[in-house]
Structure 1
Amino acid sequence: MASFDFDQAEGLRRMLAGPKPRIVTFLSATAQDDKGAMLVNLGASLAQSGNDVLIVDACEHDYGVAQRLGVDRGPGLLEVARQECALNQVIHPAPQGFSVVKMRPGRTADERRRLAKAFDVLVKQAAGSIVIVDGEFSDEGGFPVPIMESSEIVVQVSTGATSITNAYALVKRLSQHLGRRPFGILVTGATEAEAKVVYDNMSSAATRYLAVTLSSMGSVPADEYLQRAARLGRAVVDAFPLAGASVAFRRLAGRFATGVSRAA
Protein backbone atom coordinates (compact mmCIF):
# COMPACT_ATOMS: atom_id res chain seq x y z
CA MET A 1 0.00 0.00 0.00
CA ALA A 2 1.36 3.42 -0.90
CA SER A 3 2.16 5.62 2.09
CA PHE A 4 0.21 8.78 2.86
CA ASP A 5 3.42 10.84 2.63
CA PHE A 6 4.14 9.46 -0.85
CA ASP A 7 0.59 10.13 -2.04
CA GLN A 8 0.71 13.65 -0.61
CA ALA A 9 4.07 14.38 -2.28
CA GLU A 10 2.84 13.00 -5.61
CA GLY A 11 -0.29 15.15 -5.40
CA LEU A 12 1.83 18.22 -4.65
CA ARG A 13 4.06 17.53 -7.64
CA ARG A 14 1.01 17.27 -9.90
CA MET A 15 -0.39 20.53 -8.54
CA LEU A 16 2.91 22.33 -9.09
CA ALA A 17 3.25 20.87 -12.57
CA GLY A 18 -0.09 22.42 -13.53
CA PRO A 19 -2.17 21.54 -16.58
CA LYS A 20 -0.32 20.36 -19.66
CA PRO A 21 -1.19 21.53 -23.15
CA ARG A 22 -2.41 19.06 -25.71
CA ILE A 23 -0.22 19.10 -28.83
CA VAL A 24 -1.68 17.88 -32.12
CA THR A 25 0.45 18.01 -35.27
CA PHE A 26 -1.47 18.10 -38.56
CA LEU A 27 0.03 16.88 -41.82
CA SER A 28 -1.73 16.89 -45.16
CA ALA A 29 -2.03 14.87 -48.34
CA THR A 30 -4.53 17.34 -49.83
CA ALA A 31 -4.24 20.43 -52.02
CA GLN A 32 -1.89 23.12 -50.71
CA ASP A 33 -4.54 25.46 -49.34
CA ASP A 34 -6.83 22.82 -47.80
CA LYS A 35 -4.99 22.28 -44.53
CA GLY A 36 -4.71 25.99 -43.72
CA ALA A 37 -8.42 26.51 -44.34
CA MET A 38 -9.32 23.48 -42.26
CA LEU A 39 -7.12 24.55 -39.32
CA VAL A 40 -8.50 28.08 -39.26
CA ASN A 41 -12.02 26.69 -39.01
CA LEU A 42 -11.07 24.00 -36.49
CA GLY A 43 -9.24 26.56 -34.35
CA ALA A 44 -12.23 28.90 -34.48
CA SER A 45 -14.62 26.06 -33.56
CA LEU A 46 -12.47 25.03 -30.60
CA ALA A 47 -12.20 28.65 -29.42
CA GLN A 48 -15.95 29.17 -29.83
CA SER A 49 -16.59 26.20 -27.54
CA GLY A 50 -14.44 27.73 -24.79
CA ASN A 51 -10.97 26.29 -25.45
CA ASP A 52 -7.72 28.27 -25.45
CA VAL A 53 -6.11 27.49 -28.81
CA LEU A 54 -2.62 28.23 -30.12
CA ILE A 55 -1.79 27.38 -33.74
CA VAL A 56 1.91 27.06 -34.58
CA ASP A 57 2.63 27.45 -38.30
CA ALA A 58 5.61 25.16 -38.86
CA CYS A 59 5.28 25.04 -42.66
CA GLU A 60 8.36 25.78 -44.70
CA HIS A 61 6.98 25.07 -48.18
CA ASP A 62 3.20 24.82 -47.94
CA TYR A 63 0.67 27.62 -47.53
CA GLY A 64 0.39 27.75 -43.75
CA VAL A 65 -2.01 29.38 -41.30
CA ALA A 66 0.25 32.36 -40.57
CA GLN A 67 0.54 33.21 -44.26
CA ARG A 68 -3.18 32.68 -44.73
CA LEU A 69 -3.95 35.15 -41.93
CA GLY A 70 -1.24 37.63 -42.95
CA VAL A 71 0.88 37.35 -39.80
CA ASP A 72 3.92 35.70 -41.38
CA ARG A 73 5.92 38.81 -42.28
CA GLY A 74 7.35 39.69 -38.86
CA PRO A 75 9.67 37.77 -36.55
CA GLY A 76 8.80 34.24 -35.50
CA LEU A 77 9.90 31.62 -33.02
CA LEU A 78 13.28 31.25 -34.73
CA GLU A 79 14.01 34.90 -33.96
CA VAL A 80 13.06 34.23 -30.34
CA ALA A 81 15.52 31.33 -30.35
CA ARG A 82 18.20 33.69 -31.69
CA GLN A 83 17.33 36.11 -28.85
CA GLU A 84 16.41 38.81 -31.38
CA CYS A 85 12.96 39.39 -29.85
CA ALA A 86 10.73 38.34 -26.96
CA LEU A 87 8.26 35.47 -27.07
CA ASN A 88 5.21 37.72 -26.62
CA GLN A 89 6.21 39.62 -29.76
CA VAL A 90 5.60 36.60 -32.01
CA ILE A 91 2.22 35.48 -30.61
CA HIS A 92 -0.51 37.05 -32.74
CA PRO A 93 -4.21 37.03 -31.78
CA ALA A 94 -6.44 36.10 -34.72
CA PRO A 95 -9.96 37.50 -35.12
CA GLN A 96 -11.25 33.92 -35.21
CA GLY A 97 -10.50 33.59 -31.48
CA PHE A 98 -7.18 31.74 -31.38
CA SER A 99 -3.51 32.77 -31.38
CA VAL A 100 -0.92 32.13 -34.10
CA VAL A 101 2.87 31.76 -34.01
CA LYS A 102 5.10 31.38 -37.06
CA MET A 103 7.98 28.92 -36.69
CA ARG A 104 10.66 28.84 -39.35
CA PRO A 105 13.03 25.84 -39.16
CA GLY A 106 16.56 26.21 -37.82
CA ARG A 107 19.37 25.95 -40.36
CA THR A 108 22.24 24.82 -38.13
CA ALA A 109 22.44 22.28 -35.31
CA ASP A 110 22.73 25.12 -32.79
CA GLU A 111 19.69 26.91 -34.23
CA ARG A 112 17.65 23.71 -34.14
CA ARG A 113 18.63 23.15 -30.50
CA ARG A 114 17.71 26.73 -29.57
CA LEU A 115 14.45 26.48 -31.52
CA ALA A 116 13.50 23.31 -29.65
CA LYS A 117 14.05 25.12 -26.32
CA ALA A 118 12.01 28.13 -27.49
CA PHE A 119 9.18 25.81 -28.54
CA ASP A 120 9.29 24.08 -25.15
CA VAL A 121 8.95 27.47 -23.42
CA LEU A 122 6.06 28.38 -25.74
CA VAL A 123 4.28 25.11 -24.95
CA LYS A 124 4.77 25.52 -21.19
CA GLN A 125 3.38 29.05 -21.41
CA ALA A 126 0.35 27.60 -23.22
CA ALA A 127 -0.44 25.25 -20.33
CA GLY A 128 -4.10 24.29 -20.41
CA SER A 129 -4.39 25.15 -24.11
CA ILE A 130 -4.76 23.03 -27.21
CA VAL A 131 -1.62 23.53 -29.30
CA ILE A 132 -2.22 22.80 -32.97
CA VAL A 133 0.83 22.49 -35.22
CA ASP A 134 0.40 23.21 -38.92
CA GLY A 135 3.24 20.91 -39.83
CA GLU A 136 5.33 19.23 -42.47
CA PHE A 137 7.33 16.00 -42.30
CA SER A 138 10.60 16.58 -44.12
CA ASP A 139 11.92 14.38 -46.91
CA GLU A 140 14.76 13.44 -44.54
CA GLY A 141 12.17 12.15 -42.09
CA GLY A 142 11.88 14.71 -39.35
CA PHE A 143 10.04 17.61 -37.75
CA PRO A 144 11.46 21.07 -36.96
CA VAL A 145 11.48 20.29 -33.21
CA PRO A 146 11.70 16.85 -31.52
CA ILE A 147 8.59 17.27 -29.33
CA MET A 148 6.42 17.01 -32.46
CA GLU A 149 7.51 13.40 -32.84
CA SER A 150 5.77 12.50 -29.58
CA SER A 151 2.71 14.69 -30.21
CA GLU A 152 -0.55 13.38 -31.58
CA ILE A 153 -0.24 13.24 -35.37
CA VAL A 154 -3.23 13.60 -37.71
CA VAL A 155 -3.05 13.19 -41.49
CA GLN A 156 -5.60 15.07 -43.59
CA VAL A 157 -6.78 13.30 -46.73
CA SER A 158 -9.47 13.85 -49.37
CA THR A 159 -11.44 11.34 -51.45
CA GLY A 160 -9.18 11.68 -54.52
CA ALA A 161 -7.04 8.71 -55.51
CA THR A 162 -3.83 10.77 -55.50
CA SER A 163 -4.55 12.17 -52.05
CA ILE A 164 -5.28 8.69 -50.65
CA THR A 165 -2.08 7.30 -52.17
CA ASN A 166 -0.03 10.20 -50.80
CA ALA A 167 -1.63 9.89 -47.36
CA TYR A 168 -0.79 6.20 -47.17
CA ALA A 169 2.78 6.89 -48.29
CA LEU A 170 3.04 9.58 -45.59
CA VAL A 171 1.79 7.18 -42.90
CA LYS A 172 4.37 4.63 -44.12
CA ARG A 173 7.21 7.20 -43.88
CA LEU A 174 6.05 8.30 -40.45
CA SER A 175 5.99 4.73 -39.14
CA GLN A 176 9.42 4.00 -40.62
CA HIS A 177 10.99 7.00 -38.89
CA LEU A 178 8.95 7.20 -35.68
CA GLY A 179 8.29 3.53 -35.07
CA ARG A 180 5.02 1.72 -34.61
CA ARG A 181 2.40 4.09 -33.16
CA PRO A 182 -1.16 5.22 -33.97
CA PHE A 183 -1.98 8.05 -36.37
CA GLY A 184 -5.24 9.93 -36.82
CA ILE A 185 -6.98 10.30 -40.18
CA LEU A 186 -9.20 13.28 -41.01
CA VAL A 187 -11.11 13.14 -44.29
CA THR A 188 -12.15 16.50 -45.78
CA GLY A 189 -14.35 17.34 -48.74
CA ALA A 190 -16.34 14.17 -48.15
CA THR A 191 -19.70 12.98 -46.91
CA GLU A 192 -19.68 10.71 -43.88
CA ALA A 193 -20.26 7.69 -46.13
CA GLU A 194 -17.39 8.67 -48.46
CA ALA A 195 -15.11 9.34 -45.49
CA LYS A 196 -15.89 5.90 -44.05
CA VAL A 197 -14.84 4.20 -47.30
CA VAL A 198 -11.56 6.18 -47.41
CA TYR A 199 -10.78 5.51 -43.77
CA ASP A 200 -11.72 1.81 -43.87
CA ASN A 201 -9.51 1.20 -46.91
CA MET A 202 -6.54 3.08 -45.43
CA SER A 203 -6.95 1.46 -42.03
CA SER A 204 -7.13 -2.03 -43.52
CA ALA A 205 -4.00 -1.48 -45.63
CA ALA A 206 -2.07 0.11 -42.76
CA THR A 207 -2.93 -2.74 -40.41
CA ARG A 208 -2.11 -5.44 -42.93
CA TYR A 209 1.06 -4.07 -44.54
CA LEU A 210 2.51 -1.69 -41.92
CA ALA A 211 1.20 -3.12 -38.62
CA VAL A 212 0.06 0.45 -37.89
CA THR A 213 -3.22 1.38 -36.22
CA LEU A 214 -5.14 4.34 -37.66
CA SER A 215 -7.88 6.25 -35.83
CA SER A 216 -10.70 8.13 -37.50
CA MET A 217 -10.85 11.78 -36.43
CA GLY A 218 -14.02 12.38 -38.45
CA SER A 219 -14.81 14.23 -41.66
CA VAL A 220 -15.77 17.62 -43.08
CA PRO A 221 -18.04 17.83 -46.15
CA ALA A 222 -17.43 19.92 -49.24
CA ASP A 223 -19.42 23.12 -48.65
CA GLU A 224 -19.63 26.34 -50.67
CA TYR A 225 -20.07 28.25 -47.40
CA LEU A 226 -16.44 27.48 -46.55
CA GLN A 227 -15.30 29.59 -49.51
CA ARG A 228 -17.86 32.28 -48.77
CA ALA A 229 -16.64 32.59 -45.19
CA ALA A 230 -13.00 32.68 -46.33
CA ARG A 231 -13.75 35.56 -48.70
CA LEU A 232 -15.25 37.41 -45.74
CA GLY A 233 -12.13 36.72 -43.69
CA ARG A 234 -14.17 34.75 -41.16
CA ALA A 235 -14.59 31.18 -39.98
CA VAL A 236 -17.57 29.30 -41.35
CA VAL A 237 -18.86 28.52 -37.82
CA ASP A 238 -19.09 32.25 -37.19
CA ALA A 239 -20.32 33.50 -40.56
CA PHE A 240 -22.67 30.62 -41.42
CA PRO A 241 -23.35 28.65 -38.22
CA LEU A 242 -26.06 26.45 -39.78
CA ALA A 243 -23.96 25.33 -42.77
CA GLY A 244 -23.10 21.65 -43.08
CA ALA A 245 -19.40 22.41 -42.67
CA SER A 246 -20.13 24.37 -39.47
CA VAL A 247 -21.97 21.41 -37.99
CA ALA A 248 -19.05 19.15 -38.92
CA PHE A 249 -16.44 21.49 -37.44
CA ARG A 250 -18.35 21.82 -34.18
CA ARG A 251 -18.54 18.04 -33.96
CA LEU A 252 -14.85 17.79 -34.84
CA ALA A 253 -13.93 20.40 -32.23
CA GLY A 254 -15.84 18.49 -29.57
CA ARG A 255 -13.95 15.33 -30.36
CA PHE A 256 -10.54 17.03 -30.43
CA ALA A 257 -11.25 18.83 -27.17
CA THR A 258 -11.97 15.53 -25.44
CA GLY A 259 -9.28 13.57 -27.26
CA VAL A 260 -11.72 11.02 -28.64
CA SER A 261 -11.18 9.10 -31.87
CA ARG A 262 -13.10 6.20 -33.30
CA ALA A 263 -13.21 3.66 -36.07
CA ALA A 264 -15.23 5.38 -38.80
Structure 2
Amino acid sequence: MANFDFDQAEGLRRMLAGPRPRIVTFLSILKDEEKNAMLANLGASLVQGGSDVLLVDARSVSKGIASRFGAARRATLLEVARQEKALDEVIQPVSQGLGLVSLARVRQDLGSLSEAEMQRLGTSFDLLARQASVVMVDGELDTNNAFPVSAMSDGQIVVQMSPGAASLKSAYSLIKRLNACLGRRSFGVLVTGASEDEARLVYENMARTASRYLAIQLNFMGSVPADEHLGRAANLGRSVIDAFPLAGASVAFRRLAGQLSLS
Protein backbone atom coordinates (compact mmCIF):
# COMPACT_ATOMS: atom_id res chain seq x y z
CA MET A 1 0.00 0.00 0.00
CA ALA A 2 1.27 3.44 -0.87
CA ASN A 3 2.19 5.90 1.86
CA PHE A 4 -0.97 8.05 2.03
CA ASP A 5 -0.75 11.05 4.31
CA PHE A 6 -4.31 12.35 4.34
CA ASP A 7 -4.43 15.03 7.01
CA GLN A 8 -7.95 16.47 7.05
CA ALA A 9 -7.03 19.86 8.48
CA GLU A 10 -4.26 20.38 5.94
CA GLY A 11 -6.55 19.19 3.18
CA LEU A 12 -9.17 21.74 4.13
CA ARG A 13 -6.57 24.51 4.23
CA ARG A 14 -5.46 23.61 0.72
CA MET A 15 -9.06 23.48 -0.48
CA LEU A 16 -9.74 26.97 0.79
CA ALA A 17 -6.53 28.48 -0.57
CA GLY A 18 -6.63 30.33 -3.88
CA PRO A 19 -9.46 30.82 -6.37
CA ARG A 20 -12.19 28.20 -6.63
CA PRO A 21 -11.88 26.14 -9.85
CA ARG A 22 -14.69 25.96 -12.39
CA ILE A 23 -16.11 22.43 -12.49
CA VAL A 24 -18.21 21.56 -15.55
CA THR A 25 -19.76 18.11 -15.88
CA PHE A 26 -20.69 17.14 -19.44
CA LEU A 27 -23.41 14.60 -20.16
CA SER A 28 -23.95 13.53 -23.75
CA ILE A 29 -26.63 11.60 -25.59
CA LEU A 30 -24.38 11.28 -28.63
CA LYS A 31 -21.89 8.60 -29.63
CA ASP A 32 -18.76 8.37 -27.51
CA GLU A 33 -16.59 9.47 -30.43
CA GLU A 34 -18.57 12.69 -30.88
CA LYS A 35 -18.57 13.43 -27.17
CA ASN A 36 -14.85 12.74 -26.82
CA ALA A 37 -14.05 14.95 -29.81
CA MET A 38 -16.03 17.80 -28.26
CA LEU A 39 -14.32 17.47 -24.87
CA ALA A 40 -10.81 17.22 -26.32
CA ASN A 41 -11.23 20.17 -28.67
CA LEU A 42 -12.98 22.36 -26.12
CA GLY A 43 -10.27 21.55 -23.59
CA ALA A 44 -7.57 22.46 -26.10
CA SER A 45 -9.36 25.73 -26.86
CA LEU A 46 -9.48 26.60 -23.17
CA VAL A 47 -5.76 25.84 -22.82
CA GLN A 48 -5.00 28.05 -25.82
CA GLY A 49 -6.96 30.79 -24.09
CA GLY A 50 -4.76 30.56 -20.99
CA SER A 51 -6.71 28.15 -18.77
CA ASP A 52 -5.16 25.25 -16.89
CA VAL A 53 -7.51 22.38 -17.82
CA LEU A 54 -8.03 19.01 -16.18
CA LEU A 55 -10.15 16.33 -17.88
CA VAL A 56 -11.77 13.79 -15.55
CA ASP A 57 -13.00 10.48 -16.98
CA ALA A 58 -15.88 9.51 -14.69
CA ARG A 59 -17.44 7.00 -17.10
CA SER A 60 -18.05 3.34 -16.30
CA VAL A 61 -17.15 2.22 -19.81
CA SER A 62 -13.85 1.97 -21.64
CA LYS A 63 -14.84 4.58 -24.23
CA GLY A 64 -14.67 7.65 -22.00
CA ILE A 65 -12.44 10.63 -22.67
CA ALA A 66 -9.35 8.65 -21.62
CA SER A 67 -9.78 6.49 -24.73
CA ARG A 68 -9.50 9.58 -26.94
CA PHE A 69 -5.86 9.93 -25.94
CA GLY A 70 -5.13 6.20 -25.86
CA ALA A 71 -4.46 6.59 -22.16
CA ALA A 72 -4.56 3.51 -19.97
CA ARG A 73 -6.38 3.94 -16.67
CA ARG A 74 -3.43 3.73 -14.31
CA ALA A 75 -3.72 5.28 -10.86
CA THR A 76 -7.30 6.41 -10.22
CA LEU A 77 -8.88 8.81 -7.79
CA LEU A 78 -10.72 5.89 -6.24
CA GLU A 79 -7.36 4.32 -5.37
CA VAL A 80 -6.48 7.55 -3.61
CA ALA A 81 -9.70 7.34 -1.60
CA ARG A 82 -8.83 3.76 -0.69
CA GLN A 83 -5.39 4.92 0.42
CA GLU A 84 -3.66 2.83 -2.24
CA LYS A 85 -2.17 5.71 -4.25
CA ALA A 86 -1.02 9.26 -3.59
CA LEU A 87 -2.90 12.19 -5.06
CA ASP A 88 0.05 13.32 -7.20
CA GLU A 89 0.06 9.95 -9.01
CA VAL A 90 -3.31 10.33 -10.73
CA ILE A 91 -2.77 13.23 -13.17
CA GLN A 92 -1.55 12.05 -16.57
CA PRO A 93 -0.27 14.72 -19.00
CA VAL A 94 -1.72 14.27 -22.50
CA SER A 95 -1.56 16.24 -25.73
CA GLN A 96 -2.50 19.91 -26.13
CA GLY A 97 -1.34 20.71 -22.60
CA LEU A 98 -4.25 18.90 -20.94
CA GLY A 99 -4.18 16.86 -17.76
CA LEU A 100 -6.19 13.62 -17.58
CA VAL A 101 -7.54 11.81 -14.51
CA SER A 102 -9.66 8.66 -14.24
CA LEU A 103 -12.14 8.45 -11.39
CA ALA A 104 -12.26 4.64 -11.23
CA ARG A 105 -11.49 1.63 -13.40
CA VAL A 106 -15.11 0.41 -13.46
CA ARG A 107 -18.24 1.99 -12.00
CA GLN A 108 -18.98 -1.15 -9.97
CA ASP A 109 -15.99 -0.31 -7.77
CA LEU A 110 -17.82 2.77 -6.50
CA GLY A 111 -20.72 0.70 -5.19
CA SER A 112 -18.51 -1.04 -2.65
CA LEU A 113 -17.17 2.09 -0.98
CA SER A 114 -17.71 2.68 2.70
CA GLU A 115 -19.05 6.02 3.90
CA ALA A 116 -15.55 7.04 4.97
CA GLU A 117 -14.15 6.13 1.54
CA MET A 118 -16.90 8.11 -0.19
CA GLN A 119 -15.99 11.12 1.92
CA ARG A 120 -12.32 10.68 1.03
CA LEU A 121 -13.22 10.34 -2.66
CA GLY A 122 -15.08 13.64 -2.54
CA THR A 123 -12.30 15.37 -0.64
CA SER A 124 -9.68 13.95 -3.02
CA PHE A 125 -11.66 15.26 -5.98
CA ASP A 126 -11.88 18.72 -4.37
CA LEU A 127 -8.14 18.79 -3.71
CA LEU A 128 -7.41 17.59 -7.24
CA ALA A 129 -9.68 20.23 -8.74
CA ARG A 130 -7.70 22.94 -6.97
CA GLN A 131 -4.78 22.13 -9.25
CA ALA A 132 -6.59 23.47 -12.34
CA SER A 133 -8.60 26.54 -13.28
CA VAL A 134 -11.15 24.49 -15.24
CA VAL A 135 -12.16 20.88 -14.54
CA MET A 136 -14.12 19.20 -17.35
CA VAL A 137 -15.83 15.98 -16.26
CA ASP A 138 -16.86 13.31 -18.75
CA GLY A 139 -19.77 12.19 -16.62
CA GLU A 140 -22.78 9.92 -16.44
CA LEU A 141 -25.61 9.31 -13.99
CA ASP A 142 -25.79 6.09 -11.99
CA THR A 143 -28.92 3.97 -11.57
CA ASN A 144 -30.10 6.37 -8.86
CA ASN A 145 -29.70 9.35 -11.23
CA ALA A 146 -26.81 10.64 -9.12
CA PHE A 147 -23.14 11.53 -9.57
CA PRO A 148 -20.40 9.73 -7.61
CA VAL A 149 -18.95 13.02 -6.30
CA SER A 150 -21.06 15.88 -4.96
CA ALA A 151 -18.84 18.52 -6.60
CA MET A 152 -20.10 17.31 -9.98
CA SER A 153 -23.66 18.09 -8.91
CA ASP A 154 -22.71 21.42 -7.38
CA GLY A 155 -20.86 22.68 -10.46
CA GLN A 156 -22.13 23.52 -13.91
CA ILE A 157 -23.86 20.72 -15.84
CA VAL A 158 -23.98 20.76 -19.64
CA VAL A 159 -25.98 18.38 -21.84
CA GLN A 160 -24.57 17.76 -25.33
CA MET A 161 -27.07 16.98 -28.06
CA SER A 162 -27.54 17.22 -31.82
CA PRO A 163 -30.41 18.54 -33.97
CA GLY A 164 -33.37 16.30 -34.71
CA ALA A 165 -36.48 15.00 -32.96
CA ALA A 166 -34.83 11.86 -31.57
CA SER A 167 -32.00 13.86 -30.02
CA LEU A 168 -34.45 16.35 -28.53
CA LYS A 169 -36.44 13.54 -26.93
CA SER A 170 -33.36 11.84 -25.47
CA ALA A 171 -31.88 15.08 -24.16
CA TYR A 172 -35.16 16.06 -22.51
CA SER A 173 -35.37 12.62 -20.88
CA LEU A 174 -31.86 13.11 -19.49
CA ILE A 175 -32.75 16.54 -18.13
CA LYS A 176 -35.82 15.02 -16.45
CA ARG A 177 -33.55 12.53 -14.69
CA LEU A 178 -31.27 15.34 -13.57
CA ASN A 179 -34.23 17.33 -12.31
CA ALA A 180 -35.57 14.34 -10.37
CA CYS A 181 -32.24 13.96 -8.57
CA LEU A 182 -31.03 17.54 -8.16
CA GLY A 183 -34.29 19.47 -8.00
CA ARG A 184 -34.95 22.74 -9.77
CA ARG A 185 -31.81 24.36 -11.12
CA SER A 186 -30.45 25.48 -14.49
CA PHE A 187 -28.63 23.30 -17.01
CA GLY A 188 -26.56 24.17 -20.05
CA VAL A 189 -27.34 22.90 -23.54
CA LEU A 190 -24.64 22.45 -26.17
CA VAL A 191 -25.71 21.52 -29.70
CA THR A 192 -23.08 19.95 -31.95
CA GLY A 193 -23.30 19.02 -35.61
CA ALA A 194 -25.52 22.03 -36.26
CA SER A 195 -25.33 25.55 -37.56
CA GLU A 196 -25.94 28.43 -35.15
CA ASP A 197 -29.50 28.91 -36.43
CA GLU A 198 -30.29 25.19 -36.21
CA ALA A 199 -28.82 25.00 -32.72
CA ARG A 200 -30.83 27.96 -31.44
CA LEU A 201 -34.04 26.46 -32.79
CA VAL A 202 -33.27 23.15 -31.05
CA TYR A 203 -32.44 24.97 -27.82
CA GLU A 204 -35.57 27.13 -27.90
CA ASN A 205 -37.80 24.08 -28.36
CA MET A 206 -36.05 22.31 -25.49
CA ALA A 207 -36.14 25.38 -23.25
CA ARG A 208 -39.88 25.92 -23.78
CA THR A 209 -40.63 22.29 -22.93
CA ALA A 210 -38.40 22.32 -19.83
CA SER A 211 -39.93 25.57 -18.62
CA ARG A 212 -43.49 24.39 -19.13
CA TYR A 213 -43.27 20.87 -17.71
CA LEU A 214 -40.32 21.02 -15.30
CA ALA A 215 -40.28 24.72 -14.36
CA ILE A 216 -36.52 24.87 -14.94
CA GLN A 217 -34.31 27.19 -16.95
CA LEU A 218 -31.94 26.02 -19.65
CA ASN A 219 -28.94 28.04 -20.84
CA PHE A 220 -27.70 28.01 -24.41
CA MET A 221 -23.99 27.21 -24.33
CA GLY A 222 -23.45 27.46 -28.08
CA SER A 223 -23.06 25.25 -31.12
CA VAL A 224 -20.38 23.48 -33.13
CA PRO A 225 -21.06 22.85 -36.82
CA ALA A 226 -20.47 19.58 -38.63
CA ASP A 227 -16.96 20.01 -40.02
CA GLU A 228 -14.73 17.53 -41.86
CA HIS A 229 -11.71 19.26 -40.30
CA LEU A 230 -12.57 17.65 -36.96
CA GLY A 231 -11.89 14.18 -38.33
CA ARG A 232 -8.83 15.29 -40.23
CA ALA A 233 -7.35 16.87 -37.12
CA ALA A 234 -8.08 13.74 -35.06
CA ASN A 235 -6.25 11.60 -37.63
CA LEU A 236 -3.25 13.89 -37.15
CA GLY A 237 -3.48 13.49 -33.38
CA ARG A 238 -4.10 17.22 -32.97
CA SER A 239 -6.94 19.52 -31.98
CA VAL A 240 -8.84 21.24 -34.76
CA ILE A 241 -7.86 24.71 -33.51
CA ASP A 242 -4.20 23.71 -33.72
CA ALA A 243 -4.31 21.93 -37.07
CA PHE A 244 -6.93 24.06 -38.84
CA PRO A 245 -7.35 27.33 -36.90
CA LEU A 246 -9.61 28.95 -39.51
CA ALA A 247 -12.05 26.03 -39.80
CA GLY A 248 -15.66 26.60 -38.80
CA ALA A 249 -15.33 24.17 -35.89
CA SER A 250 -12.23 26.00 -34.63
CA VAL A 251 -14.09 29.31 -34.60
CA ALA A 252 -16.97 27.68 -32.74
CA PHE A 253 -14.73 26.06 -30.11
CA ARG A 254 -12.89 29.32 -29.45
CA ARG A 255 -16.21 31.09 -29.00
CA LEU A 256 -17.46 28.34 -26.70
CA ALA A 257 -14.25 28.42 -24.67
CA GLY A 258 -14.56 32.17 -24.28
CA GLN A 259 -18.15 31.87 -23.11
CA LEU A 260 -17.27 29.14 -20.64
CA SER A 261 -14.42 31.21 -19.22
CA LEU A 262 -16.71 34.21 -18.66
CA SER A 263 -19.87 32.46 -17.47
TM-score by length of 2: 0.88
Query: Cα offset for 1:62?
Result: 6.4
Query: Cα offset for 1:76?
Result: 1.2
SS in 2 for 1:59: coil
Counterpart Cα distance in 1 of 2:84 and 2:142: 26
Aligned to 1:229: 233
Aligned to 1:52: 52
SS in 1 for 2:141: coil
C-alpha contact (below 8 Å) 2:54/2:98 kept by paired residues: yes
Counterpart Cα distance in 1 of 2:256 and 2:136: 14
Question: How far does the alpha carbon of each residue in 1:138-194 deviate from its partner, in whole angstroms, 9 at most, with x for none?
Answer: 231110111211110000000132221110001111011100000000000000111
Aligned to 1:69: 69
Residues 1:121 and 2:127 are matched in the alignment: yes
Query: Cα offset for 1:84?
Result: 1.7
Aligned to 1:187: 191
Distance 1:62 1:182, change over 3 A: farther
Gaps of 5+ in 1: 1-12, 260-264
TM alignment of 1:1-264, pairs within 5 A: 17-61=17-61, 63-104=63-104, 105=107, 106-110=110-114, 111-126=117-132, 129-259=133-263
After TM superposition, the runs of 4+ consecutive aligned structure 1 residues lying more than 3 A away are none
Counterpart Cα distance in 2 of 1:239 and 1:198: 30
Aligned residues: 243
The root-mean-square deviation of aligned C-alpha atoms, in Å, is 1.5
Counterpart amino acid of residue 236 in structure 2 = L
SS in 1 for 2:208: helix
Name which of structure 1's ranges 223-232 and 108-117 shifts more when overlaid on structure 2: 108-117
Q: Percent identity?
A: 58
Counterpart Cα distance in 2 of 1:32 and 1:95: 19
Aligned to 2:5: none
TM-score by length of 1: 0.88
Counterpart Cα distance in 2 of 1:71 and 1:79: 17
C-alpha contact (below 8 Å) 2:21/2:134 kept by paired residues: yes
